Structure 1
């Protein structure tokens, strides 16, 4: 959809010759038995410094003070409170501090429906592990999370690159988005690619469950359905919708009228733009 995306080299501690065992490992787990299991498994695997956090406040303090090289976090929330359970991950990934922003995060959870996994992935985790867990699976996920990966920071996502395959040596000269590459290769026209991306965005927004965000995705779908071409002017509207979703995310704790104003303003812009089309 033409979004401005920066993919930076993953500032991974392995570039210094360290492994995850050489750096502090943060274990954020609310259950005492599970804490002992995870911490004991990591210690037996060679972890030198294990930091325990029993609540989100302790976890935040440890991340900022100790700069862990690996985070194992418990997803506290369930189907009805998934945002609260993922707030630690979102705070880490949304930080401006590169010292811990891209730390590998293994999320453990008792909830593992497809929607749960997709929500966790979209929040920026490195690996997902369902409870009850085995020591073998735990260490496998930790080792996988520790593998160097590029860090992606875009309008609505910050986290490790989801593409597991190595990128082509000339990747720095290629588009970041597959849809953009398909357009340049002539496999699809720009408008169809934008519409497909819009449909994918609608599915993602529906998972989130925010009614205001859903209105944003409906507005974008309405606009892209009405236009007959996709150029800089249309891309500007797409970026407005992305920016609106970011504003909604940042204002979740604000008065509902703030979010309503964001959506109403966006819909008015779209209405006026379509009148001029």
Structure 2
């Protein structure tokens, strides 16, 4: 039997819904993820991050107390630690343009709309593992490059180079 490409990664799932935590746990296990940590909200996840450093975070957008946006923003604010650059997949039933743009603008790596499917989760995991985007740090943004295509840029590079560590 061959080992899953996801067998060596660890994933933190943050969701206040027991049903969604169980669904994500089951899907991740079916995909071959061996190390999965569960948290019921951003505060519990933050405490868990003191002892575990997962490779990927999957968080729900709407949680009480403290939603996934606040948790992701707090993660992105970590400087000088790998956790600040961890890939974050946000799961949400709110797929309006404002919610998706808000997720993008706080540094969410991938967005997965509900109802989720095994294929959708698989594709997001492949994107963050096999096709990672360059991490960008500016005075107003910290997260993966929001551009999906590698197209030549003509003009002045306003970002310049920034050392991450």
Is the pair's TM-score, using the shorter chain for normalization, greater than 0.5? yes
SS class of match (1:64) = coil
Larger helix percent: 1
Residue of structure 2 equivalent to 1:50: 36
Q: CA 1:100–1:20 in structure 2 vs 1: closer, same or farther (change >3 Å)?
A: farther
Please state whether the residue corresponding to 1:148 is helix, strand or coil.
coil
CA distance 1:48–1:111, shift in 2 (3 Å): same
Q: TM-score, length-normalised on structure 2?
A: 0.82
**Structure-1 residue corresponding to 2:8:** 22
- Cα deviation digits, residues 181-237 of structure 1 (max 9, x gap): xxxxxxxxxxxxxxxxxxxxxxxxxxxxxxxxxxxxxxxxxxxxxxxxxxxxxxxxx
Specify the alignment match of 1:110 in structure 2: 93
Equivalent residues in 2 for 1:255-270, closer than 5 Å:
none
Q: Does 1:129 align with 2:112?
A: yes
Distance in 1 of aligned mates of 2:6 and 2:82: 15
Looking at CA atoms only, which structure, 1 or 2, has the larger radius of gyration? 1
CA–CA distance in structure 1, aligned partners of residues 99 and 107 of structure 2 = 13
Provide the secondary structure at the position in 2 that maps to 1:91: helix
SS in 2 for 1:66: coil
Q: Aligned residue for 1:166?
A: 150
**Higher strand proportion, which one?**
2
How far did 1:57 drift? 1.6
Displacement of 1:64 in angstroms is 3.4
1:65 alignment counterpart: 51
Among 20, 28, 32, the alignment partner of 1:34 is 20
**When the two structures are superposed, what TM-score results if normalisation uses the length of structure 1?**
0.51
Q: Could you tell me which residue of structure 2 aligns to residue 148 of structure 1?
A: 132
Aligned to 1:176, which of 148, 157, 161?
157
Q: CA deviation at 1:20?
A: 5.2
Residue in structure 2 matching 1:88, options 71, 74, 84: 71
CA distance in 2, matches of 1:155, 1:21: 36
Q: Report the 3-state secondary structure (helix = DSSP H, G, I; strand = E; otherwise coil) of the residue aligned with 2:50.
A: helix
Cα RMSD over matched residues?
Answer: 2.5
Following TM superposition, by how much is the alpha carbon of 1:176 offset from its aligned partner in structure 2, in angstroms? 3.3
Question: What CA distance in whole angstroms lies between the structure 2 residues aligned with 1:176 and 1:160?
Answer: 17
- Please list every run of 5 or more consecutive structure 2 residues that lacks an aligned counterpart in the other structure: 160-165
